[in-house]
């Protein structure tokens, strides 16, 4: 899997991988950048959240859950000393839909984290998760 | 450091972190997505390349190098079995400018990889690097 990053001056870059979609990366003004795009470390969290979110959508679909709303909030704690790597990352899944149960949500999240999510398993941080959900079926 | 990912239907998402810039994430058509944005695993490579590239630009600037062109090519090898984590990532730095030497380039890359780059140090993959450069100063 390949990616190429081209420098655009100062601390700005354009990244492009096999999908062909370009992503602008830049540092904040206070760090010498021009804030034309997200920070590199944000992209790590976005990629992690996107990877596990795709898993969870696919697994719940197989379980006949009909999602109406779904979000993942990620919080990454970083070491205080350089290199300021992620030491702990918490994923909070928020789901709304028909057919959601504690059992199928926790199973979907566990399958993602332990078996399928290539991103989660590429980090050396401790990754934890929690979830909250609202079932819109009446009487459930 | 926080990020939030919101589901947009099928396998599409919008991610936003502290910088406020939105990044669309989507799966390929053949995986059930609509290819409206990059894949999650691409974002991991983009973030890694962006992190070390910012370090290298800043370090070389302190060394009075005047860069004219700079790119980073990243190649990530992934495990064949699920979870298909990155097992090895190679970064190839390509530089052009005034004042570039083997010594200052290798020092800048080593400082990034070993001391400063928060992204490189957040992966459990083996990360390797190489570089090529062209010095545009006449007679060097």
Q: Indicate if B68 and B95 belong to the same structural domain.
A: yes
**Residue that is written with structure tokens 């290298």 in the block:** B56
Instruction: Look up the domain containing A115 and give its range.
Output: 40-135
Residues shown for chain A: 140
Average pLDDT taken over every residue of chain A: 96
Question: Has residue A140 been placed in a domain?
Answer: no
Are residues A17 and B45, on separate chains, in Cβ contact within 8 Å?
Answer: yes
Q: Indicate if A32 and A71 belong to the same structural domain.
A: no
Closest CA of chain A from B67, distance in Å: 9
What DSSP letter does each residue of chain A carry, written as one string? -EEEEEE-STT-EEEEETT--EEEE---GGGT----S--HHHHHHHHHHHHHHHHHHHHHHHTT-EEEEEEEEEEEEE-SSSS--EEEEEEEEEEEEES--HHHHHHHHHHIIIII-TTGGGB-SEEEEEEEEEE-STT-
% of chain B surpassing 70 pLDDT: 98
Counts of helices then strands in chain B (DSSP H, E): 2, 6
pLDDT in the model for residue A140: 46
Are residues B86 and A118, on separate chains, in Cβ contact within 8 Å?
Answer: yes
Q: Indicate if B94 and B121 belong to the same structural domain.
A: yes
Closest CA of chain A from B130, distance in Å: 14
Closest CA of chain A from B115, distance in Å: 5
Give residues 92 to 131 of B whose Cβ lies within 8 Å of A: 114-125
B49, B51, B83 member nearest A121 (Cβ): B83
pLDDT in the model for residue B140: 46
- Give contacts of A121 with chain B, Cβ < 8 Å: 83, 85, 124
Closest CA of chain A from B121, distance in Å: 5
Are residues B120 and A83, on separate chains, in Cβ contact within 8 Å?
Answer: yes
Question: Has residue B140 been placed in a domain?
Answer: no
Number of domains in chain A: 2
Beta-carbon contacts below 8 Å between A and B: 252
Are residues A7 and B42, on separate chains, in Cβ contact within 8 Å?
Answer: no
Identify the band that residue A138 occupies on the pLDDT scale cut at 50, 70 and 90.
Answer: low
Q: Indicate if A67 and A123 belong to the same structural domain.
A: yes
- Give contacts of A115 with chain B, Cβ < 8 Å: 82-83
pLDDT in the model for residue A131: 98
pLDDT in the model for residue A49: 98
Q: Indicate if A74 and A11 belong to the same structural domain.
A: no
Hey, is the C-beta of B44 within 8 angstroms of any chain A C-beta?
A: yes
% of chain A surpassing 70 pLDDT: 98
- pLDDT tens for each residue of B50-95: 999 999 999 999 999 999 999 999 999 999 999 999 999 999 999 9
CATH number at residue B124: 3.30.300.20
Once rounded to an integer, what is the mean pLDDT over residues B105-109?
Answer: 98
- Give contacts of B56 with chain A, Cβ < 8 Å: none
pLDDT in the model for residue A134: 97
Q: Indicate if B51 and B95 belong to the same structural domain.
A: yes
Residue B9 to residue A106: CA distance in whole angstroms:
21
Q: Indicate if B7 and B73 belong to the same structural domain.
A: no
């Amino acid at each position: 899997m390949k990616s190429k990053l081209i420098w655009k001056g100062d601390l700005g870059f354009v990244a492009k991988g096999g999908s062909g979609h370009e992503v602008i990366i830049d540092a904040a003004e206070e760090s010498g950048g021009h804030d034309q795009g997200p920070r590199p470390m944000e992209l790590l969290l976005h990629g992690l959240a996107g990877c596990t979110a795709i898993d969870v959508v696919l697994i719940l679909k197989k379980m006949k859950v009909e999602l109406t709303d779904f979000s993942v909030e990620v919080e990454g704690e970083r070491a205080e000393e350089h290199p300021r790597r992620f030491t702990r990352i918490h994923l909070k899944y928020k789901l709304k839909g028909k057919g959601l149960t504690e059992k199928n949500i926790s199973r979907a999240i566990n399958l993602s984290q332990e078996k399928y999510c290539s991103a989660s398993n590429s980090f050396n941080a401790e990754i934890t998760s929690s979830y909250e959900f609202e079932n819109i079926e009446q009487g459930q």
